[in-house]
């Protein structure tokens, strides 16, 4: 049943919408007024929101910042960032402003002003941030699970990898560090931090980033961060070329002999990240729907293109 559902694009979009709504709750309801900034475009949008004395809505700012990044990504990387990416960051931006009451006609919603959120803000700030981190990580994990994206630093990291060979993980880490630090400076010099020092809020932000990123990993692959695929197909050369060209991943041909037909053939072995497994299966199905594929969990990968597990 699960395999059938995954083949229906409408179901994917419904679940991307669900993930975007959860993510928007975390950002719009729990993090914006707490002034604890996640990385990427969402964090930069929050910093601009603070600079404008809260007059520019966070969601619309996210959407405006993502538009040029999206078209740049399409130009540099082709259709890798397609309709699902555009839909993902658009619906996420909409939900953030909707939940905060910044969408015209829905100003009465303002979930951030509910008694529960206000009470947590005043008496249990750490738990408030934890809830925001969990919602952010779970929502983003669901979006990734169904081949969506919220654009932002994902696109910039992919472009930096293509142009300068910077690993995506390192690029995203640098971007997030810059955004969080910039937001901390804005909060400090605008005197927006209420009773909490800007440095404390910045440390909360790095804690938020760690928790949410770990939850994304768990949602996508349990506690495994990569997958190894063994592909048996008569079209192994075409599949291997597509893996190398479209995923920028290496592939190894292993000599094997099928005992049933007693035929010598090559088996393709490749290792991909958690977010690339969906595209890998699409490549295989496109090239050879009858291919025999084994996908296994990988707990450690040492080599180019993969970060060391902590």
pLDDT band at 94 (very low <50, low <70, confident <90, very high): very high
Closest by Cα among 179, 157, 175, 177 to 167? 157
pLDDT the model gives residue 301: 67
Domain range annotation of the chain:
2-221, 226-298
Overall fold of domain 226-298: Alpha-Beta Plaits (3.30.70)
Asked if residue 273 has pLDDT above 50, the reply is: yes
Cα dihedral 91, 97, 100, 102 sign:
negative
What are the two backbone dihedrals, phi and then psi, of residue 52, each rounded to the nearest 5 degrees?
A: -85, 15
pTM, 2 dp? 0.71
Average pLDDT in the 187-216 region? 82
β 252-258/292-298 pair status: unpaired
Tens digits of residue pLDDT in 34-74: 999 998 899 999 999 999 988 999 999 999 999 998 888 88
Closest by Cα among 49, 4, 11, 8 to 31? 49
Task: Report whether 138 contacts 220 (CB < 8 A).
Answer: no
Query: What's the rounded Cα separation, in Å, for the pair 43 and 62?
Result: 9
Average pLDDT in the 156-166 region? 76
pLDDT the model gives residue 275: 74
Asked if residue 215 has pLDDT above 90, the reply is: no
pLDDT the model gives residue 121: 93
% residues pLDDT > 90 (the chain):
41
> Which of 122 and 79 is assigned the larger pLDDT?
122
Cα–Cα distances (Å) from 79 to 74, 83, 114, 162, 165, in that order, read 6, 9, 42, 15, 20
pLDDT band at 205 (very low <50, low <70, confident <90, very high): very high
- Tell me the HSE value of 191 on the side-chain side, using a 13 A CA sphere: 0
Determine the 3-state secondary structure of 289 from DSSP: coil
């Amino acid at each position: 049943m699960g395999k059938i559902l995954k083949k229906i694009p409408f179901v994917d979009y419904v679940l991307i919408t669900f993930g975007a709504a959860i993510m928007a709750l975390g950002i719009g309801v729990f993090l914006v007024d707490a002034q604890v900034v996640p990385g990427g475009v969402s964090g930069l949008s929050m910093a601009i929101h603070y600079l404008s004395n809260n007059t520019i809505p966070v969601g619309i700012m996210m959407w405006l910042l993502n538009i040029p990044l999206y078209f740049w990504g399409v130009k540099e990387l082709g259709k890798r960032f397609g309709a699902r990416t555009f839909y993902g960051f658009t619906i996420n931006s909409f939900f953030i402003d909707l939940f905060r009451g910044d969408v015209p006609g829905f100003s009465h919603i303002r979930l951030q002003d509910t008694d529960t959120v206000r009470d947590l803000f005043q008496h249990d700030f750490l738990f408030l941030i934890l809830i925001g981190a969990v919602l952010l990580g779970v929502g983003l994990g669901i979006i990734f699970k169904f081949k969506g994206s919220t654009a932002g630093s994902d696109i910039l990291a992919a472009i930096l990898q293509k142009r300068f060979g910077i690993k995506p993980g390192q690029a995203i880490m640098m971007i997030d560090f810059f955004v969080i630090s910039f937001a901390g400076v804005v909060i400090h010099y605008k005197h927006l931090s209420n009773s909490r020092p800007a440095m404390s809020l910045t440390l909360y932000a790095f804690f938020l980033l760690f928790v949410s990123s770990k939850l994304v990993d768990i949602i996508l692959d349990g506690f495994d961060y990569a997958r190894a695929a063994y592909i048996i197909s008569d079209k192994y050369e075409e599949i291997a070329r597509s893996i190398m060209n479209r995923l920028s991943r290496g592939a190894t041909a292993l000599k094997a002999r099928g005992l049933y037909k007693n035929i010598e053939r090559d088996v393709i072995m490749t290792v991909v990240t958690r977010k690339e497994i969906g595209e890998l299966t699409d490549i295989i199905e496109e090239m050879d729907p009858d291919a025999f594929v084994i996908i296994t969990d990988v707990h450690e990968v040492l080599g180019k293109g993969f970060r060391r597990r902590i």
